[in-house]
Structure 1
């Protein structure tokens, strides 16, 4: 019997999982079941969309294999009961990998579809995602799939997955597609293209061998071995397409000299937390991050707003040399928009800052452009314009580290911040 990915995933979410989720989240079992009927095909559709558009099947294959151990009912119920950290954080990471800044829209869509709270939809989605993708990972591991056969496997499952997306979910719209059928065609064309390229290469080699006699067979084999060895060495030396692209941070001054190569360091591990807002919205954030600090400040009546009260974005990046916010950074921008919505009396000003290196006029200009970019992004996230008191670029005016100071010191001066002026 052919493997049915969708049914295998559904089998994880048995009556015990639904009962536990219902009890823990304070929702009806019918609401939980309906939410899961949307969550499972949504997550798998996200995987299809990413595989069909990113060109990084190898990275996705490693991702699903990494959560293969989570494809079981106990992992799901444990995540729902813990409510934060652990598998919940992993689920959040996976979702942002698949959907980027569209995660909040998907949560809202699932909440409306199933008739459950957004906080419940959020927890359920984060808990279910590792198990859903882990089922793919289990199959890939057991069948020793490589990137090419992984894409072929997804292509065999795409019709079942896309047909399972409930009519009440506008998933195509959120993904920027005219219809989910476009995604199915994209996957089919991608797999056909891979197969055609491989077949052409093999046929070309065979024809060459036929024309030149047996000695060409050995030459062909030697060439193929050399190609495989070169590919392996390139992957080992960091030449893999799956390597994460280096994005420019909020740094502005380093961008003046395009020949300068930024130093990339590995930051220490951060503790993921969930920040609950007064309106019940639950945000995924980091302990001590801007969401954590800002909400704590706004809730504390003893702390007064003012020109000297600033909070730094800690997960905000821009595309190199520009004021265009990267897609992954929109998660934090949307979190700030949610906070302002939950605290309607709060008013903020946005500031951009640089270190002391580079041309000050250029730094001042770019820091202003980036601060304005964040303000505009907040407006697009349906923030009440009356809560935004403008954006200003300060260049290196408030930088503390000298221009010749070590990078670790200077990077502290490069940031985008918000100042709470009213609460």
Structure 2
């Protein structure tokens, strides 16, 4: 199972970094720094939801129907000629569900840490969101993931290997109740922004298929 740190160092990761850098006019170094902070946040939200059978089922359904990893097979097409509006809308929907009312403050904080303006941070996150789900979809197929325990283990593996600096930054951005746990606060934001959509399984399906 490959972690997010390995992803960013891989040939696919370099394509993602280069594509987003070209799309936004941001240096590859700053783009890489931003993604190293943002991708674990999104993955942590999914891990918390996948800790229940209903959440894992919703995540598996989303992967099988839309986020199966095929997006990573044609990154040239994804970035070539500019990222199309449907992809940005997909990313915006994912971010809205994951971050809820915290999205603006997270973007501003990441802007402060990286020196990238907040508007560009938002655009980078919109491009990154469907790509990280595609990566999860690919890992799910490669590792024959089918149940909630396996999915939780896969997501935990993806979160492994983060630097202490990144872990501290993510905690400072998301740990709103001060208990040191990023995952519960991300999940609370997801639940809060989707409480009218009914049930954790339905919530996760809505979030990942938006």
Match of 1:63 in 2: 62
- Summarize the alignment of residues 171-186 of structure 1 with structure 2, pairs less than 5 Å apart: 171-174=173-176, 176-180=177-181
Match of 1:242 in 2: 201
Q: Is the helix fraction higher in 1 or 2?
A: 2
Instruction: State whether structure 2 residue 185 is matched by structure 1 residue 150.
Output: no
Q: Is the strand fraction higher in 1 or 2?
A: 1
| Greater Rg over alpha carbons, structure | 1
CA drift at 1:58: 1.1
Moved over 6 A (4+): none
- CA contact 1:76–1:127 (8 Å) conserved in 2: no
Instruction: State the distance in 1 between where 2:120 and 2:98 align.
Output: 20
Residue 108 to residue 17, structure 1, CA distance change in 2 (3 Å): same
CA drift at 1:19: 3.9
Residue 155 to residue 244, structure 1, CA distance change in 2 (3 Å): closer
Instruction: State the distance in 2 between where 1:123 and 1:172 align.
Output: 20
Q: Deviations over 1:300-355 (max 9, x none)?
A: xxxxxxxxxxxxxxxxxxxxxxxxxxxx9xxxxxxxxxxxxxxxxxxxxxxxxxxx
Match of 1:188 in 2: none
Instruction: State the distance in 1 between where 2:152 and 2:97 align.
Output: 18
- Residue ranges of structure 1 left out of the alignment (5+ in a row): 184-239, 246-327, 329-423
Q: Secondary structure at the match of 2:201?
A: coil
Instruction: State whether structure 2 residue 80 is matched by structure 1 residue 121.
Output: no
Question: Greater relative contact order (Cα 8 A, min sep 6): structure 1 or 2?
Answer: 2
- Residue ranges of structure 2 left out of the alignment (5+ in a row): 185-198
Instruction: State the distance in 1 between where 2:77 and 2:6 align.
Output: 15
Instruction: State the distance in 2 between where 1:182 and 1:101 align.
Output: 16
Q: Secondary structure at the match of 1:243?
A: helix
Match of 1:140 in 2: 140
Number of matched residues?
185
Could you state the TM-score of these two structures normalised by the residue count of structure 2? 0.69
RMSD of the alignment, in Å? 3.4
Could you state the TM-score of these two structures normalised by the residue count of structure 1? 0.38
